[in-house]
Amino acid sequence: VSSSPSLVPSTTADLLPSASPSPAAIAAALEDWNREMPAASVSIDPDVLRALSRDYAPLCPAGTPAALIRPSSTDEVSTALRIAHRHRIPVVPQGARTGMSGGANALDGCLLLSLERMKRILAIDTLEQTGTVQPGVVNAEFSRAVAEQGLFYPPDPSSWEFSTLGGNAATNAGGLCCVKYGVTADFVRALEVVLADGTVIRTGRSTAKGVAGYDLTRLFTGSEGTLGVITELTLSLRPAAQAPLTAVAFFPRLGAAGAAVTSFMAGGARPSLLELMDRTSIEVVSGYRDFGFPQGTEAALIAQSDAGPQAAREDLARFAECAETQDGEVVIADDPAEGRLLLEARRSVGFATERLGAFLSEDVCVPRARLVELVEGFQGIAAEYRLTTTCCGHAGDGNMHPTLVFDPDDADEVDRAHRAFDRVMELGLGLGGTITGEHGVGVLKREWLARELGPDSLRLQHGLKALFDPTGILNPGKVLTVRQP
Ligand SMILES: Cc1cc2nc3c(=O)[nH]c(=O)nc-3n(C[C@H](O)[C@H](O)[C@H](O)COP(=O)(O)OP(=O)(O)OC[C@H]3O[C@@H](n4cnc5c(N)ncnc54)[C@H](O)[C@@H]3O)c2cc1C
């Protein structure tokens, strides 16, 4: 595969099916929205629109939206879409815009459809062990609410204090606990979705089991706003987990930490968390708070087991053995507060990296056996392109976030970041991995998705998009290119 800095589209013109909507179409849509929707939900304030026009991903183009609608109910979402459909206005659904792939970025002349006002927890059912929520509920708020009922919602992206459950479902978010419990899709039992023309459908089931028909719930989960707008979610819950035990190991080389992960998992381990941080990640979080990391360490592995007091101790003893074989120095956190502090350190890497400059957080997932090659390969790419980088991630899943830091005002550095990004994608695919373990494709990785899937599978994906969104108004140009190659 040849590496080219042009694989990420440079303008939003590449994202729209044809030209942006005409001023007449936008004016007609605005007239209808203003007539049929509550006045407070519609905004055309340019400052507001500009502030909401992009997510967390740099290098991705963002256009100038025509309007913002913040609906409060499914009916209002349906009305907004029906009108957009009538006037062929592209619609970009938005949660908290913490996405890392440009999926929530505006297109020229689009409607931004923010779900942030739909933030009610509708029910927590302890018998069915489910929670039903509107899409704008923030992950951590829901997790805390179900914990009060003795239940547990495992999917926990590092952004859990900010990102919404609707956004988590739309991206099929992963997180720290996924190594044991699975990703968001494993917990989505049913959805209410508004289709492109405003039709409201329900997918999935209210029962513990059910296999009637094709699994549309799974299809919408991870569809990044390109097939429908999620307006309600029923999420499976588990009984509260046992209090976890935590250990941390410090390594003299990044590759040694990767090797410890491989041997630990190969021994049949099922930790509830296994996270890796490289030296720069440790330095960047230590810059804003003392998390107790020793000076000069090249990598840290944080492991948790919630298998119950005795079994967890045995899990961590096996972890210590694997780490020590790789020259790791292991500390068992006897005090639960120490364990929580270590997790806070890991969760802080993303936001702390902002202090270094603009950053592109990658999301490659490889088979666990290739983890060492991934992290060492990334070190080589960072050196070759002379970029500051961090590398942390969900090592137990083989899902790492090699991150490129650059100065957006330095054209040469931006160019090197583009090239390094393409090399990371090549590296991941070359190791038998995927271009995205959890952040999604968005705008950033459309071309790489085509390479990962191959032409036959890609054709089917375009067919699905055309079936659900025949006029192409739903988040066009995201995930798939607007025209079938
Ligand atoms: C510091 C930091 C750490 C992160 N850590 C993780 C991590 O550990 N794991 C992980 O998976 N991700 C992580 N992310 C990425 C991001 O938080 C997730 O992708 C998250 O799921 C996005 O949720 P959101 O509410 O911000 O959605 P947005 O960014 O607003 O939207 C994401 C996508 O979903 C679509 N969308 C949003 N809401 C809806 C809806 N109701 N219906 C249909 N489509 C919708 C949008 O159009 C867009 O394509 C992290 C991000 C940051 C900034």
Convert the pLDDT of each residue in 290-312 to its tens digit. 998 998 899 999 999 999 999 99
- Is the pLDDT assigned to residue 3 strictly greater than 50? no
Distance CA 330, CA 316 (A): 10
What pLDDT is attached to residue 14?
67
Q: Which of 68, 110, 171 to mutate to test the pocket of ligand 1 (most atoms within 8 A of CB)?
A: 171
Convert the pLDDT of each residue in 365-383 to its tens digit. 999 999 999 999 999 999 9
Residue 434: beta bridge partners?
A: 365
Q: Which of 60, 74, 78, 94 to mutate to test the pocket of ligand 1 (most atoms within 8 A of CB)?
A: 94
Is 97 a pocket residue for ligand 1 (Cβ < 6 Å)?
yes
Q: Which of 116, 159, 394 to mutate to test the pocket of ligand 1 (most atoms within 8 A of CB)?
A: 159
Is 171 a pocket residue for ligand 1 (Cβ < 6 Å)?
yes
Convert the pLDDT of each residue in 264-293 to its tens digit. 999 999 999 999 999 999 999 998 889 989
What pLDDT is attached to residue 10?
67
What pLDDT is attached to residue 214?
96
Q: How far is CA 256 from CA 253, 263, 322, 368, in A?
A: 5, 11, 10, 14
Q: Say if residues 187 and 154 touch (Cβ distance below 8 Å).
A: yes
Strands lying side by side in the sheet with 188-194: 121-125, 130-133, 229-236, 188-194, 200-204
Write out the DSSP string of 380-449: HHHHHTT-EEEEEEEGGGTEEEEEEEE-TT-HHHHHHHHHHHHHHHHHHHHTT-BS-SSS--TTTTHHHH
- Kindly state the average pLDDT of the residues 421-447: 95
Rounded to 10 degrees, the C-alpha dihedral 438/442/444/447 comes to: 100
Is 161 a pocket residue for ligand 1 (Cβ < 6 Å)?
no
Is 170 a pocket residue for ligand 1 (Cβ < 6 Å)?
yes
Is 96 a pocket residue for ligand 1 (Cβ < 6 Å)?
yes
Rounded to 10 degrees, the C-alpha dihedral 371/374/380/383 comes to: -100
Distance CA 123, CA 133 (A): 7
Please name which of 155, 205, 193 lies closest in space to residue 175, comparing C-alpha atoms. 155
Q: Say if residues 275 and 257 touch (Cβ distance below 8 Å).
A: no
Distance CA 225, CA 94 (A): 8
CA of 159 to the centre of ligand 1 (A): 8
pTM: 0.94
CA of 142 to the centre of ligand 1 (A): 16
Q: Which residues of 190-229 are buried (b: 16+ CB within 10 A; e: fewer)?
A: bbbbbbbebebeebbeeeeeeeeeeebbbbbbbbbbbbbb
What residue owns the CA closest to ligand 1's atom 13?
Answer: 157
Is 52 a pocket residue for ligand 1 (Cβ < 6 Å)?
no
328 phi, psi to nearest 5 deg: -80, 150
What pLDDT is attached to residue 1?
32
Beta strands in 134-264, from DSSP E residues, in sequence order: 151-152, 188-194, 200-204, 229-236, 238-239, 245-251
Averaged pLDDT of the chain: 94
Residue 477 region, left (φ>0) first, then alpha (ψ -120 to 50), else beta?
left
What pLDDT is attached to residue 2?
35
Is 363 a pocket residue for ligand 1 (Cβ < 6 Å)?
no
pLDDT band at 420 (very low <50, low <70, confident <90, very high): very high
H/E stretch holding 275: strand 273-278
Residue with tokens 């804003």: 288
What residue owns the CA closest to ligand 1's atom 11?
Answer: 173
Please report the atom of ligand 1 found closest to the CA of residue 350: 1
pLDDT band at 115 (very low <50, low <70, confident <90, very high): very high
Q: Is 383 exposed, middle or buried (0-12, 13-18, 19+ CB in 10 A)?
A: exposed
- Kindly state the average pLDDT of the residues 449-457: 95
Convert the pLDDT of each residue in 173-192 to its tens digit. 999 999 999 999 999 999 99
Per-residue tokens: 187: 């917990």
- Is the pLDDT assigned to residue 12 strictly greater than 70? no
Q: Which of 163, 277, 479 to mutate to test the pocket of ligand 1 (most atoms within 8 A of CB)?
A: 163
- Top-confidence residue, 229 or 358: 229
Please name which of 181, 142, 135 lies closest in space to residue 161, comparing C-alpha atoms. 142
Please report the atom of ligand 1 found closest to the CA of residue 92: 47
- Is the pLDDT assigned to residue 397 strictly greater than 80? yes
Please name which of 363, 446, 452, 381 lies closest in space to residue 174, comparing C-alpha atoms. 363
CA of 161 to the centre of ligand 1 (A): 12
Is 100 a pocket residue for ligand 1 (Cβ < 6 Å)?
yes
Please name which of 400, 360, 359 lies closest in space to residue 255, comparing C-alpha atoms. 400
Is 168 a pocket residue for ligand 1 (Cβ < 6 Å)?
yes
pLDDT band at 59 (very low <50, low <70, confident <90, very high): confident
What pLDDT is attached to residue 4?
42
